[in-house]
Each structure stands twice: as C-alpha cells, then as structure tokens.
C-alpha cells in the first residue's frame, strides 16, 4: 500500500537514533538522578546557544562571588586590622576597597541577568517546542488511539507533564556556574589554609548522601502525583463537558464528591512530596552552616597558636558560605529531577505512540461534479475477535444520494468514520473516484469530502470563524452556505451577524441551530462527497426537508451519504442501505424496502412513532 513511510519522531523532541533515542532509552532505564541529567542533555542539545550564554553569565557570577572572598580577606589584613592597630584608616585604601566591592557587585549583577534570562528563555522554548510536538502527535494519531486515552490525560500530557519535564532547566545554568565557583573556591581555600579547608569540605559526602536518600524517597510519590494530575483533569473535563446532564439529573453533589476525592488524594500525595522536600532542604542548608561553625572554632585556635592569620580564617569561612550556595543550587536542581523524569516519560510515551496513519502521494481529482464512492469487502471491528462491520460492498454514483438505515449499534456511525478515514479499515477498501483513500496525500481527502457528525461541535469563536475555520472564504460564500443550511435567518438576527461570538461549544445557540452552523461549515468547502451522520436530528422536519432539497438542487450536485431515521429524509434518497448486525441485509428505494422487508418497515415506523411521541 502506498504511503507506508516510516513515522518520524516529532521535531523538537529529537530526530536521530544516534542521539535522541539513545538519550530516551537512558531516561527510561536510568535512576532518577541519571535520567534527570539525560533529560537536561536533550535540552542542552536543542538550545546550545542560549545555554552557553546563560552558563557564561553564571560563571561570571560565580567567579566574582569568589572574588568577594579575596577582597574581604585582603581588606581584613590591609585595612581592618591595621585600622584597629593604628586607630586610623588610610583614605586611599578605603576608596580602593569600596571600588573593588562596587566593581565586583556590578559585574556580578550582569552575570545574574544573563543567567536568569538565558535560563528562562531556554526553559520556555523547550516547553513550547514540546507542546507543539505533543499537539502534532495528537493530530497525527488515529481516532482509535484517542478513544483509548481520556481527554484529561491528554491535557495533562500537554500541560503539567511538559512543565514538569523541563522544570530543572531554571536552576541548570546556576548549578553549572556554581560548580565552577565551587571549584575555584575550594582551590582558594586549600591555598589559604589546608587544614581548615579539609575540615570544611568534609560536609560534601554528607550532602551527596542526603541527595541520594531524597531521590529514592521522592521518586515514587512524584510519579503518583503526575498520574493523579491527569486523572483529576479527566474528571474535571467530564464534569464540564456533561454539565447539562449533571444539572438535569441533579447529580451535582455526586460529581463534587467524585472530584473532591481525587483532589484530596492529589493533595495528600503532594503533601507527602512536600514533607520529604521540607526535610531535605533544611538539612541541605544546615550542613554547610555546621561546617562554617566548626571551621570558625578551629580557626580561632589556629590563630591563637600562630598556625594561621585572621585573614585566612575569614577567607576560608566566607568561602565555605560561598560553597554552601552551590550546594543549595545543585540541591534545587536534583530536587526537580523526580518530577522532571516522570513528566518526560509521560510525554515521551505520547510521542512514541504508534498507529499514525500512513499517507500516499496521490492527488484528489478536481471536478465540479459529485465524487464516485466505491466500498468493497469492507470489514472493521473495535476488537479483533468481534468484528462490527463485515464484507460491506456498495457503490454510490456521482450526484446520487444514499441513506444508511439501521438499528442502534448496527455500525452506521462507524461506517461514516471509515468513509472519512478517521479510522482505517481492517480489510477491504474505500475508493473515491477510483483512488483508495489510503493512497491520497495528507489533506487530499478533505478537498473532496466533508462530514457533519452526529454531535455538532462549535468553537468559542465568531459565526464566521466557526464556518471558515481560518480559511480565506469570502462572506458571500459563507452566506450561501448558511442559506443552504437554512441558517441565514437566525444568523442575520444575531447582534453582530457573522461576527457574533457563539461561546464555548456554541452554548448561546439551540441544538438545531448548532447543527445548521456545523452543516454550513461543511458546505462552504463545496465538497464533492458529503457525509451526514444524523446531522439534522435536532432540526424541525420542515426545515430539514428544505435543507435536503437545497443539497439536491441543480447548483449543488455533490454525492450524499446520509445516516437517516426520519421517513421524509429517507424518502429523498435514491437508494437505501439497510444495515443489520454489521452487514447490508437489503438495499433499494425506500418504498420498495418498506413493501418487501418487514424488519426495515418495523424499524422506520418505530423511529417515526418515537419522533411523533417526542414532539407531541
């Protein structure tokens, strides 16, 4: 079959096996710390220039912070102690000290700005790139994949998981720069006083052990917290989406309780993570301070014994406080790793999902006439062992209208999804103008075919925006589509006409009005093949008759496939396909089927009786 091109990894997440996929394997197989650094390596490769700028800024900040220790020690030996000894301060030395401190402070501020700005730009770029990659992947994956993944989980993948994945980028440049600062500080400490430096640096093994313990304790709870965020989003989405059902049935307390239970579970999980971090952060901050106190006590004894001078003690003590800052910044970085790794893995699972539809290179024929539809040997099932549709074959000639009629769960909506290639057939083929739909290039089928689904979905946009969906369509053509859909009257009566905003899901319109706007959206593209899946169920029968008459008018000769229930609608079709138990059991004009097929007659009469009972 044409179009079996290998699926490329989404741009921005990685494209080459030699780099990104190996990194992804390291992320999935390594522990929290190793996997966290692997995630950061992905970001560094994607934004090397920004990372370099922010790191240079951080290095400048670190070097000048250490320079402060040298200035402080020099000032102690050459300005402070002589002032105590002589009772006066030389004006030149005082101005020199002030100039040194001021110059260091200004340059350090420049480093801070470069570090923070670069880290922010790098983080937000990676988040934006990842969100685009996730969205592209959502659009490329077939409906079968989406049906297995709740909407709330998909929202969580594109939002909180992406933010968590790149959370460590913010402290990354600071950590890299402060590592260099720590190295310079340690070297300077060793030159100032070897004994005091060794005693002070004994804190490092304790810091490393503390980080390891934290990673092990936090990893599991961080994973559970990310999962709960997706589950909570799913419940919220269901509640908002079904607000009318919930209110109508008076189930607000139950929905509130369901949301509260999940929210409280998420809260408790986050509290557990917070408790672990609350114990980790103070411990990490306290260890360097304890080392400073020990060095001060030991330093006093060494000064009194003549083994060192006060300036060296001040230098070592200050450098230990300087070293404590890199320890904290590295701790902040490592503290973000559990959530980062979990978020990265959840996002990467979406980007690695298989099932993206293959496309060919064929171009759809351009013609003003209706398209020819051929279905041969079609079979499809949501479960491999239970086929829903089997061995369906039929042809719709150009400009003709075919009605699909069948009981609930007979496969009518599934067949429309297959005709529009929202999902692919398990067996058989669907051809438009002789071309297998799988051979068409991406977007080519949409040039020929439009579908109006059972449930009309409108965006929080204007009437024009909902019909054109951003396409450059003249208003004259928009009004023509509205007239055919019998929607021009109520649209003209709206406060701002085509510029009237409809609200989320078109809540400002009735069900029938939403269906007619949705129909106009399909008609404005002048499709050669139009598929209507019970698209006028909420419309008055008289209005529906005018709509169908407009679709069959001389200036519109599109081929129509209509899922229908009403006799009036079915009667307008050139041929009726009667579906039962996943197969076409009879076909022909409506009048003939009613006369010869008792099951068909009972079904359409039952639909009509039910409709009359609802409207009476």
Give the containing element (helix H, strand E) for 402. Answer: strand 401-406
What does the pLDDT read at residue 479? 92
CB of 528 closer than 8 Å to CB of 507:
no
Q: Model pTM?
A: 0.63
Among 255-264, 275-284, 358-367, 454-463, the range with the most confident prediction by mean pLDDT is 255-264
Q: Say whether domain 373-615 belongs to CATH 2.60.40.1930.
A: no
Q: Percent of the chain, pLDDT > 90?
A: 2
In our burial notation (b when 16+ CB lie closer than 10 A, e otherwise), range 170-184 reads bbbbbbbbbbbbbeb
* Cα 558 to Cα 83: distance, rounded to the nearest angstrom: 99
**Could you tell me the pLDDT band of residue 23, with boundaries at 50, 70 and 90?**
very low
* In the predicted structure, residue 3 carries a pLDDT above the cut 70: no
Q: What residue segments make up the domains of the chain, in order of their start?
A: 17-351, 373-615
- The CATH code of the domain at 17-351 is 1.20.1560.10
* In the predicted structure, residue 407 carries a pLDDT above the cut 50: yes
Mapped to the 3 state alphabet, what secondary structure does 337-381 carry? HHHHHHHHHHHHHHHCCCCCCCCCCECCCCCCCCCCEEEEEEEEC
Lowest mean pLDDT among 5-9, 217-221, 272-276: 5-9
pLDDT in tens, 553-568: 655 678 888 888 777 7
What does the pLDDT read at residue 132? 92
* Cα 83 to Cα 89: distance, rounded to the nearest angstrom: 5
Mean pLDDT of the chain: 78
pLDDT in tens, 249-274: 787 888 888 888 988 988 988 888 88
* Cα 436 to Cα 531: distance, rounded to the nearest angstrom: 17
Torsion angle, CA of 152/153/154/156, rounded to 10 degrees?
90
Angle at 7 between CA 2 and CA 12, to 5 degrees: 145
Say if 17-351 and 373-615 have the same CATH topology: no
43/616: higher pLDDT: 43
Start-to-end CA span in the chain (Å): 53
pLDDT in tens, 320-351: 776 666 666 676 677 777 778 888 888 888 88
CB of 188 closer than 8 Å to CB of 357:
no
Mean pLDDT across the stretch 385-394?
Answer: 84
């Amino acid at each position: 079959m044409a179009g079996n091109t290998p699926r490329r990894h989404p741009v921005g997440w990685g494209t080459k096996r030699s780099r990104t996929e190996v990194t992804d394997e390291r992320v999935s197989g390594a522990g929290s710390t190793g996997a966290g650094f692997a995630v950061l390596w992905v970001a560094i490769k994607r934004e090397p220039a920004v990372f370099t700028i922010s790191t240079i800024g951080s290095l400048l900040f670190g070097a000048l912070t250490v320079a402060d220790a040298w200035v402080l020690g020099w000032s102690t030996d050459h300005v402070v102690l002589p002032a105590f000894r002589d009772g006066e301060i030389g004006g030149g030395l005082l101005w020199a000290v002030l100039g040194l401190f001021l110059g260091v402070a200004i340059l350090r501020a420049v480093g801070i700005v470069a570090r923070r700005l670069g880290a922010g730009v790098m983080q937000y770029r990676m988040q934006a790139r990842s969100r685009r990659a996730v969205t592209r992947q959502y659009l490329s994956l077939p409906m079968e994949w989406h049906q297995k993944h709740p909407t709330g989980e998909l929202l969580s993948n594109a939002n909180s998981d992406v933010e968590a994945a790149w959370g460590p980028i913010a402290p990354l440049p600071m950590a890299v720069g402060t590592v260099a600062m720590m190295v310079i500080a340690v070297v300077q400490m060793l030159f100032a006083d070897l004994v005091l430096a060794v005693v002070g640096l004994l804190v490092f093994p304790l810091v490393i052990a503390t980080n390891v313990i934290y990673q092990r304790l936090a990893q599991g709870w961080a994973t559970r917290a990310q999962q709960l965020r997706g589950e909570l989003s799913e419940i919220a989405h269901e509640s908002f989406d079904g607000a009318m059902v919930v209110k109508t049935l008076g189930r607000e307390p139950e929905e509130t309780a369901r949301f509260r239970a999940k929210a409280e579970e998420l809260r408790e999980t986050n509290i557990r993570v917070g408790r672990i971090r609350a114990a980790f952060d103070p411990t990490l901050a306290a260890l360097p301070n304890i080392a400073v106190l020990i060095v001060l006590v030991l330093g006093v004894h060494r000064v009194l014994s003549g083994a060192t001078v006060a300036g060296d003690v001040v230098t070592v003590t200050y450098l230990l406080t300087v070293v404590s800052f890199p320890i904290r910044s590295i701790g902040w970085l490592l503290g973000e790793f559990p959530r980062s790794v979990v978020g990265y893995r959840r996002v990467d699972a979406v980007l690695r999902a298989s099932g993206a539809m293959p496309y060919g290179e064929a171009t759809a024929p351009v013609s003003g006439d209706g398209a020819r539809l051929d279905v041969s040997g079609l079979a499809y099932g949501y479960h491999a062992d239970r086929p829903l549709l089997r061995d369906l074959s039929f042809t719709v000639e150009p400009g003709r209208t075919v009605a699909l009629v069948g009981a609930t769960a007979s496969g009518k909506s599934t067949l429309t999804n297959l005709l529009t290639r929202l999902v692919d057939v398990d067996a058989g083929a669907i051809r438009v103008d002789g071309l297998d739909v799988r051979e068409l290039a991406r977007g080519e089928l949409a040039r020929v075919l439009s579908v109006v689904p059972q449930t009309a979905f409108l965006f929080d946009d204007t009437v024009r925006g909902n019909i054109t969906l951003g396409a450059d369509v003249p208003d004259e053509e928009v009004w023509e589509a509205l007239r055919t859909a019998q929607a021009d009257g109520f649209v003209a009566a709206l406060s701002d006409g085509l510029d009237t905003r409809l609200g989320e899901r078109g809540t400002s319109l009735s069900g029938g009005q939403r269906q007619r706007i949705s129909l106009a959206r399909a008609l404005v593209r002048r499709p050669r093949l139009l598929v209507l899946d019970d698209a006028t169920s909420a419309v008055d029968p008289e209005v529906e008759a005018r709509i169908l008459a407009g679709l069959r008018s001389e200036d519109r000769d599109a081929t129509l496939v209509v899922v229908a229930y009403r006799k009036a609608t079915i009667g307008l079709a050139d041929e009726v396909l009667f579906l039962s138990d996943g197969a076409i059991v009879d076909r022909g004009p409506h009048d003939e089927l009613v006369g010869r097929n008792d099951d068909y007659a009972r079904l359409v009469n039952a639909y009509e009786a039910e409709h009359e009972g609802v409207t009476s």
